[in-house]
Every structure is written in C-alpha cells, then in structure tokens.
Structure 1
Amino acid sequence: MKRFWQKESLGWTGVIVTMLLLDRVFEIVSRAMSKVRGQNKGGTKPQQPVGFLGEVMLKNGRELGEDSTFGTAMVEMGESLRQLSEVKDAFDLNVRQNFLDPLDHLKNKDLK
C-alpha cells in the first residue's frame, strides 16, 4: 500500500502542492484560533516561530552585552534566524501569488 507522500502515488508535484495547501490550512486555522482567543486583532500575519526565536535571541544577546562571547553568539544567531524568517515569508508570499492563487483562480473560474 502506497502512502500519499510517496513519489509513486502523487508525484513530487503532488507532494509539494499537498504541503503548501496544508500550510495554508494551518495558517487559516491559526488565524481563526487567534480571533477566538482575542489575539492578533489587527489582522496582521502572525510572526514565524523562527522569527520569534530570532527576536528573543537578539534581545537577550544584547542584554548580555558585547563583552560576552555567548551574548555575541546569540546576537549573530538571532540575526540569522530573523533573516531566515524574512526569506521564508517572502517565499510563502511568492508561492501564494504565483502558484496557489492562480491555481485557485483556475479551479474556481476557468474549470467551471
């Protein structure tokens, strides 16, 4: 029995599409749960966990000071994580604009 993620069953394109759709579903559910809990009322996108970790590491690394080797390492790692979060956000936006939205448009408009 083949699993849905195996190459032979869906193909790599199917796996990627499935992962992207699951990511989008997770984002929608997270946004809905935030509204229920009363968080994130501004309608802004929640920060990536990697970005949040980067911000915390930057803040605490700066508190330790430049004299501390550990503090310097935390600042450098925090900056790297923040940059990684920005790249992931840009990638997510690019995939949404150039793949998911046109695919949704094709499904809803052109195939009817």
Structure 2
Amino acid sequence: MSERIAVIGLGYVGLPVAVAFGRVFPGTIAFDISERRINELRDGLDRTGEVDAAALKASSIVLTTDRETLKGATFFVVAVPTPIDVNRAPDLAPLKLASELVGEVVG
C-alpha cells in the first residue's frame, strides 16, 4: 500500500509541512476549511509568507476544502490553531473539530 498524506490546516505550520511532504509524496492532500484560503493558495498567495508563489506553483499538493478527498489518505497531520484566552488556556475547539473530521474519514 502506498502512503497518501493529508495535512489538515494550512496556516503557517500546516502549509510548509504539506509542501515538504508533497516533495516526497506527490499528491499530498492539503486541506483547509476556508475556501478563501484554498483559492489564494491556488493563485500562489500565502498570506503567512511561509511558502513563496514559485514553491506553491511547483508543488504537487492537492489543495482542497472537500472532506471526501481526505478519504484517500493513509496518514494524517493535524496542524490547526490552538489560540489561548486571557487566562492563557488553549482553545481546543479547532483541534477537536479536526479530530472529529479525521474520525469521520477513517471510520
């Protein structure tokens, strides 16, 4: 069985990770819930400044918001934000949602 990597969350951590995996595993799935984010990345624009336009265009990653695409993955990397509140307690809601998504896909 060949590996198919999926990276969930394409912020300043997830996007570079997806691009790096894409160099070794062509067709790496790069998933984000934001249509706007995916469209910007398809246009070569990374607002975080972590990946330049040339690297995005040369990448073999599959940029998507489609949950069904994740069903082809054999390995998942979750890279979603866990912001902290005024008491420095992390907001784990994005992590919980991403974990539920992975559970739905593999279940």
Larger radius of gyration: 1
Taking structure 2 as the reference length, the TM-score comes to 0.24
Taking structure 1 as the reference length, the TM-score comes to 0.23
Relative CO higher for 1 or 2, CA cutoff 8 Å, sep ≥ 6?
2
Q: Compare the two structures and name the one with the higher helix fraction.
A: 1
